Amino acid sequence: MYRFIGVFFLILFNTTFLFAQQLNCSVVINAQKVTNTNQQLIKNLEIALNEFVNKTDWTGQTLKQNEKIKCSMFITLSAVNSDQFTGTIQVQSSRLIYNSTYSSPVLNYNDKDFNFRYVEFENLIFNPSVFESNLVSVIAYYSYVILGLNMDTFESFGGNTYFETAQNILNVAQQGGYKGWSQADGVQNRFFLTNDLLSSTFAPYRQALVDYHQGLDLMSTDLKTAKEKIKTAILNLSKLNQTRPNAFLTRVFFDAKADEIALIFSGGPSITISDLVETLNKISPMNSSKWSQIKY
């Protein structure tokens, strides 16, 4: 048995894989950089956010706990002034691979423009048509991005409905005046994330997602074919680099997948990967140290 399978693809009993469309999310708040702050308030906020994310009905579907999407939101606070909070939010999600216990990372994104107002014990309620709280809007926005990306790993452009909801949240939230919702706030933020996901220009990214994960789903039955399919998905992603060099979504893809890719192609069975490594170094040079780990 190949070592890669042994480590990452532990085969389970024959069970039917169900699409997960609700969240099993861990929200953690790091307030170590903030002094003279009510730590109980921070703890209560953390509890409130966990309940908000995991108990809100995002899709209208009732799922068992093991069917939900595993994800996390790690909030790092840099300043607290009365009821005003400043920090960042790291959003991560993963997708369970068919016939295995392995969860593949899908999203790993650090949003550095996370400012919000919060009063202890206030209700966190999501209304998609009204801006009431930047805290609620940001959390809801990323919840729908997670849902959309998860569906995109199963079906070509399957996440459109969720991305459109996230885009609507963005449009409504712009009236709040908080940073991160506008194209004027930078070239890699919430505005461009959903704008690019819904743009036909970036279709190669979304097609790569489904092809790549279909390859992972073959790992338990045909490892060589699986690796070839994953390789093809990455090579096709280079089409985006031809029209949009250093695209935001290309970076989003490799922020989640770089370590996994290096592991997949560093074990047997061997396939031709010289063209793959060349492409990886071209479209994601920031990860060149990881691509050097891939063995020919």
**Does some domain include residue 153?**
yes
Say yes or no: 91 and 146 in one domain: yes
Residue 244 domain-assigned? yes
Q: Examine residue 127 and state whether it is found in any structural domain, yes or no.
A: yes
Overall average pLDDT of the 246-258 stretch: 97
pLDDT tens track for 259-283: 999 999 998 888 999 999 999 999 9
Kindly state whether residues 190 and 250 are assigned to the same domain: no
The whole domain housing 238 covers 222-291
Confidence label for 291 from pLDDT (cuts 50, 70 and 90): very high
Last residue of a domain, one of 182, 198, 214: 198
The predicted-structure confidence for 195-250, as pLDDT tens digits, reads as follows 999 999 999 999 999 999 999 999 999 999 999 999 999 999 999 999 999 999 99
Please tell me the total count of domains within the chain.
2
Residue entry with tokens 């693809």? 9
178 within domain boundaries: yes
Residue 49 within a domain: yes
CB 264 within 8 A of CB 227: yes
* Structural domain ending residue among the three candidates 164, 198, 232: 198
DSSP the chain: --HHHHHH--B-SS-------SEEEEEEEE-TT--S--HHHHHHHHHHHHHHHHHS-SSS----GGGSEEEEEEEEEEEEETTEEEEEEEEEEEEEPTTBS-EEEEEEEEEEEEEEE--TT------TTS---HHHHHHHHHHHHHHHHHHHTTSTTTTHHHHHHHHHHHHHHGGG--TTSSGGG-SSSHHHHHHHHT-GGGHHHHHHHHHHHHHHHTTTT-HHHHHHHHHHHHHHHHHHHHHSTT-HHHHHHHHHHHHHHHHHTTSSSP---HHHHHHHHHH-GGGHHHHTT---
Residues 181 and 75 both lie in one domain? yes
The verdict on 165 and 244 lying in the same domain is no
State mean pLDDT over 44-73: 91
| pTM score, whole prediction | 0.91
Q: Which two tokens stand for residue 75?
A: 């909030």
Q: Is the pLDDT of residue 71 over 80?
A: yes
Band of pLDDT at residue 296, cut at 50, 70 and 90 = low
In a domain, 208, yes or no: no
Q: What is the pLDDT of residues 85-128, one digit of tens each?
A: 999 999 999 999 999 999 999 999 999 999 999 999 999 999 99
Question: Which of 134, 163, 198 corresponds to the end of one domain?
Answer: 198
> What pLDDT shows up at residue 35?
85
Q: Does residue 251 share a domain with residue 185?
A: no
User: Is there a domain that residue 214 lies in?
Assistant: no
